[in-house]
Amino acid sequence: MSVFDVGSGTIVPALVVLAIGFLVGLVLKKTVKLGFAIVSLVGLLVATGYINLELSESSKATIYRVFSQAPQVASQASTVANILPITSAAFLVGLALGIWKG
């Protein structure tokens, strides 16, 4: 008996997990590319003198508030990550395809 026997109903869930992995890989790749583009743009603007990175007190307070929320955001991200089937081979193959072809 084959592992991917159509009659046993194991191929459709595997394809769904593969699709989820592909979409996560696609979103991950696009997010990383956007982050690199933003960092490159800011670096170019700083190098050419269009922006100054001296921070005012209000900017420092805002940055402090954002980073003080990091543990809460990390705990919420870990609960979302528990939903994903990251130990599945189909998910990992889909993730790799999403990152590679996305």
Mean pLDDT of successive 10-residue stretches along the chain, which has 102 residues: 57 88 94 94 91 83 87 84 85 92 84
Q: Is residue 14 part of a domain?
A: yes
* Structural domain of 37: 6-101
- pLDDT attached to residue 33: 95
- pLDDT attached to residue 9: 66
Number of domains in the chain: 1
Q: Is residue 70 part of a domain?
A: yes
pTM above 0.75, yes or no: no
Q: How far apart are CA 25 and CA 53, in angstroms?
A: 33
Q: How far apart are CA 96 and CA 94, in angstroms?
A: 5
CA distances 36 to 8, 30, 77, 95, Å, are 45, 10, 21, 20
Q: Is residue 1 part of a domain?
A: no
Q: Are 16 and 84 in contact (CB under 8 A)?
A: no
- pLDDT attached to residue 26: 95
